[in-house]
Structure formats: structure tokens, C-alpha cells
């Protein structure tokens, strides 16, 4: 199905039958992605008395209990409520779901014991492009990103200057294939989160950060339309399913 879109006074065409899903699904067990020192998520039949919620064990329906943390176990989208004393819900703050986006590929730079994404790298990749959403794919880009155990591995992260640059450039929705935009152990500084949401200035309540995406190697760098949908949880973060659509020429 071809859809014609008028967006910011420009006309585009996208093929709705060719979605590019860049989310990582939640799975039961230890082969699920994981970060922040938590146990693996579980998806198990509900048990109550003699009842076991599984058709193969005699129940009329499958009826599973699911335990997980959105920040640790699944592609998730978060709002500034993730780091503020005041409560903010991503379900309330995200009111639009379709954005002109840019996919870029970055090789994090080694600085000391860390690998980081810098302002200079982002400026080079984006140039003069004006986008509402930015999808960052880091390399190496191996399939094990969909099951990697990140705790105590010091993954790459964005420098404060890089996050500030994106906010000033008008990027409202930042998506990364990392467990966080910040350093794993930073004594709670969360410099990139604070800079992107401008917590100490004019807080950007509408802006979101999506972590734990996976952008397959077959998806080329360039411009796309992004459909960013979150599960309707009244929470600072919610599982999400970002989907890209190629812009037809």
C-alpha cells in the first residue's frame, strides 16, 4: 500500500507494506537482552491453586504472567520523568507518533577506557539536515545486540556535548542501539540525559529517548519516516516498537 504524505509542506510517498521494525522483542529467559544488573525476564503460566494457565496442561486459555523492567529487558522509550523528581509519563508526553527521521551509523571513538559518541561525529553525519528524530546505529553491528548481556561491560555512550548539540539542533526523538545514552557507571551524573532534555534550562517534556533498538545492516543510512509507538503504560518509560518506512523516490 502506497501512502502519499504531506509533511511540513513537502510531499512524500512511502510503502506501508514494507515496514522496517527496529525493535528488540521481549523473550523469556537468559537469551533476552539485559542490563543494569537485573535477573532475566520471565514469561510463565499463571498458577493459582490447581489452575495452570497453559492449554497444553488442561487450561482453556494460555494465561501468562510477565515480569520485566523496561529499562533493562526490551526496546523502550522514555521521557524526562526518567530522571526528574516530579512524575512524568511517557504515555502522556508522547502525543505524536510519526516523524521524519535520519538513520546514521557511528563508530564510537575510544577515549581512555571508554568508547564515546562525540558532537563532532554527529555534526559530520547530520550536516545541515533538519530532522525530528535520529536513529543511531553503532558499529560493530552484530546480531548479538539482540541478546547481549550488558551489565558491567561499560558500553559506548554519548558525550554531554553530543546530547546538547542534538537538542539544540531540534532532534526531539533520539533512538540508540545501546542500553543507555549515558555511561554505565557515572555516579548518577546522567549528563547526556540531562543535556538532551535540558533539565536545567527549559525542560523538553515532549522529547523522548529510545534505547535498545537494533538496526539491521540491510537498512541503509538515510532519511525515513519513523512510526514510534509505545505501550500505554503510565510510567517514565514503556516498551516500544519503532518502525521505519523508506521514502520512495
Cell of 55: 492449554
Q: Supply the pLDDT for residue 133.
A: 98
Q: 224 near 101, Cβ under 8 Å? A: yes
Q: Supply the pLDDT for residue 1.
A: 82
Comparison of pLDDT for 9 and 98, the residue scoring more: 98
Domains of the chain and any CATH numbers: 2-24+74-246 (3.50.30.50), 26-73 (no CATH)
Q: Supply the pLDDT for residue 6.
A: 82
Band of the pLDDT at 249, cuts 50, 70, 90? confident
Backbone angles phi, psi at 138, to 5 degrees: -100, 150
Q: Can you tell me the distance from the alpha carbon of 193 to that of 123, in angstroms, rounded to the nearest whole number?
A: 19
Band of the pLDDT at 9, cuts 50, 70, 90? confident
Model confidence pLDDT, tens digit, residues 136-192: 999 999 999 999 999 999 999 999 999 999 999 999 999 999 999 999 999 999 999
Residue 31 DSSP label:
T
pLDDT of residue 5 exceeding 90, the answer is: no
Q: How many C-alpha atoms does 41 have within 13 Å on its Cβ side?
A: 23
Q: Supply the pLDDT for residue 3.
A: 83
The average confidence (pLDDT) of the chain is 97
Model confidence pLDDT, tens digit, residues 30-77: 999 999 999 999 999 999 999 999 999 999 999 999 999 999 999 999
Torsion of CA 175, 176, 179, 180, to 10 degrees: -70
Backbone angles phi, psi at 180, to 5 degrees: -160, 155
Q: 235 near 93, Cβ under 8 Å? A: no
What's the predicted TM-score (pTM) here?
A: 0.97
Amino acid at each position: 500500500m502506497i501512502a502519499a504524505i504531506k509533511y511540513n509542506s513537502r510531499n512524500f510517498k512511502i510503502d506501508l507494506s514494507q515496514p522496517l521494525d527496529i525493535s528488540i522483542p521481549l523473550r523469556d529467559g537468559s537469551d533476552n537482552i539485559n542490563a543494569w544488573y537485573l535477573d532475566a525476564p520471565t514469561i510463565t503460566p499463571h498458577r493459582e491453586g490447581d489452575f495452570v494457565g497453559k492449554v497444553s496442561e488442561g487450561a482453556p486459555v494460555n494465561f501468562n504472567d510477565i515480569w520485566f523492567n523496561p529499562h533493562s529487558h526490551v526496546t523502550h522509550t522514555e521521557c524526562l520523568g526518567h530522571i526528574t523528581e516530579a512524575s512524568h509519563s511517557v504515555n502522556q508526553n508522547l502525543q505524536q507518533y510519526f516523524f521524519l527521521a535520519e538513520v546514521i551509523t557511528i563508530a564510537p571513538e575510544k577515549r581512555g577506557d571508554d568508547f564515546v559518541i562525540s558532537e563532532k561525529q554527529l555534526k559530520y553525519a547530520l550536516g545541515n539536515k533538519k530532522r525530528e528524530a535520529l536513529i543511531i546505529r553503532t558499529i560493530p553491528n552484530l546480531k548479538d545486540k539482540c541478546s547481549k548481556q550488558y551489565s558491567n561491560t561499560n558500553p559506548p555512550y554519548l558525550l554531554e556535548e553530543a546530547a546538547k548539540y542534538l537538542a539544540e539542533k531540534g532532534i526531539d526523538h533520539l533512538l540508540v542501539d545501546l542500553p543507555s545514552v549515558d555511561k554505565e557507571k557515572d555516579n548518577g551524573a546522567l549528563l547526556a540525559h540531562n543535556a538532551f532534555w535540558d533539565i536545567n534550562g527549559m525542560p523538553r517534556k515532549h522529547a523522548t529517548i529510545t534505547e535498545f533498538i537494533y538496526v539491521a545492516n540491510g537498512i541503509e543510512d538515510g532519511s525515513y519516516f519513523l512510526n514510534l509507538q509505545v505501550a500505554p503504560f503510565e510510567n517514565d518509560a514503556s516498551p516500544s516498537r519503532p518502525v521505519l518506512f523508506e521514502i520512495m523516490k
